[in-house]
Amino acid sequence: MSKTKKRRKKGVSTQERKQQLAAQKKYFIARLFDFGRKLGITDVLKLIPAREYNTLFGYHLKQFKVKTAPGTQIPSMVLKKMEALVHFSVNNFPLLQEEYADFTLIEYLEYGHILWRYQETLELDWYPRASQVKEGLMPVVEMVEKNGDPTTYLLGVVDVIARQYCKANSRYYWMDVVVKRSDVENNGTSINFIVHRVFCQKRVFKIEEGARPAFRIGVPNAYEKGMRWLTARLIGHDKETGETVEPFDADIYLQSHALLRLYERLDGLEKCVVHSNMLGSLSKFKVVEYQEQSMVEYYFDNVKLGYLVLDFSSGQVLVRTFLFLTHRKTPEGDKLARLGRLSYADIPFWKMDKLSTFTKSDIGNHARLRQLFDDAGCGHLFDFDAEKWGQKGDAIAKGKALAGYLTLAENN
């Protein structure tokens, strides 16, 4: 069936189609000039002949589509959520470079990308003043040099999105970005996000408590079209001589127990985001040595919430558990216990080893209590915006009771 017949069947006449196309072109050019106004190049855009804008329109972004990779089965709900996040990110996220923070990702992807490509391919003899246009579009080139190729800029965005749906003891996802320009005139460019699934890698570790299963830690890497399995640079010792051996890269594994403690102690937060921030923390691998144990600092949205406890006895890195910031055997938790004269049992009794105690109670409203936590290095927990990440519920009044108990503890 011809395209004309298809349009007639759908009730769209050729004339209506032309009117729609003209409206789309008008909107595209208006948005292109909005982009140019923000970048200070509107005078340059006015030098471009009208016929050239027809060519530029041929590269406009038509759609974003999230698809499943061939031979891969992914729950439809996951795909829908990923697609929603892609659209939200593209339409709302500003560019990372501060001087371009007024530009959204969609503006950069469409108008920045088109003008950048146009400047790259423009020949000086195409039309009068072509040399002025080529020179005048240099701010676009500088923008790309500082922010990266607009299409590859997407790769970092999709890694963040895919990471939210990974689960170390179950499955990982990574997304490929495929840009395709239609062969049909004026039909624009489509960007497809192809979702791939990778099953977890399991290994059994022999530790003091016995044999324990653990799962290899990785992060999505769209740049390399797959997963980047995390490693840590370790310095080994010969068991017989005790001498230091050459440093080596050790794989990082995680016990399911650590995940359970993460979800339990960061109660109320969206689990997928808790897991995603764990992957981010392990990627940075900022190790703290404290009381003969090694720990990686856990950050959630750039806020320090606790530590991931490590074990190196197997020659690999094993994440054993998660300790909330106020937990005993952490620098902040021990300082809090010392300053407040708290016993080991006081922390869990008052539920000070859970995030909701700080975000869903009135403890932070008591000046004396707030000062105590500030002095211990964990007062910022009261300011953490947990509702933004899914935590719900009304505030519980426990500040007065805790303040009274601490007064008793000081008198003992």
Per-residue pLDDT tens digits for 129-148: 999 999 999 999 999 888 88
Residue 226: count other Cβ atoms within 10 Å of its Cβ. 15
Is residue 206 situated within a structural domain? yes
Q: Which residue has the tokens 């690999």?
A: 316
143 and 285 both lie in a single domain: no
In this prediction, the residues of the chain whose per-residue pLDDT falls under 50 are: 7-9, 238, 408, 412
> Quick one: tokens of 187?
């039909």
- Let me know whether 121 and 191 are in one domain: yes
The residues with which 294 forms a beta bridge, in sequence order, are: 289
Domain termination site, one of 324, 352, 387: 324
* Apex 206 CA angle, 203 and 212, nearest 5: 55
Residue-wise pLDDT tens digits, 197-247: 999 899 998 877 778 899 999 999 999 999 999 998 876 554 555 555 567
What whole-number distance in Å separates Cα of residue 371 and Cα of residue 285?
30
Q: Are residues 36 and 156 in the same domain?
A: yes
- Are 30 and 78 in the same domain? yes
Residue 5 falls inside a structural domain: no
Q: Are 346 and 372 members of one domain?
A: yes
**Is residue 316 included in any domain, yes or no?**
yes
CA distance 192 to 180: 8
Question: Is residue 307 included in any domain, yes or no?
Answer: yes
Same domain, 300 and 367: no
254 shares a domain with 190: no
Distance of CA 346 to the CA centre of its chain: 36
**Secondary structure letter of residue 108 according to DSSP:** I
Domain membership of residue 332 as a residue range: 327-412
Q: Is residue 1 part of a domain?
A: no
pLDDT at 412: 46
DSSP letter at 224 equals G
Pair 136, 211 in one domain: no
Alpha helices in 185-244 (DSSP H): none
- Same domain for 256 and 377, yes or no, is no
User: Does 144 reside within a domain?
Assistant: yes
Q: Which two tokens stand for residue 203?
A: 């290994």
Distance in angstroms (rounded) separating the CA atoms of residues 27 and 254: 51
- Looking at the structure, do residues 189 and 297 belong to the same domain, yes or no? no
CB 367 within 8 A of CB 405: no
Total Cβ atoms within 10 A of residue 30? 10
- Please list the residues that pair with 288 across neighbouring strands: 295
Q: Say if residue 244 is in the same domain as residue 348.
A: no
| Residue 250 located in a structural domain | yes
In this structure, are residues 409 and 341 in contact, taking their beta carbons and an 8 Å threshold?
yes
Tell me, rounded to whole angstroms, the distance of Cα 177 from its chain centroid: 16
Please tell me the total count of domains within the chain: 3
The values of phi and psi at residue 96, to 5°, are -75, -35
Same domain for 82 and 166: yes
Position 2 in a domain: no
pLDDT score at 106: 87
Last residue of a domain, one of 277, 299, 324: 324
Structural domain ending residue among the three candidates 152, 170, 199: 199
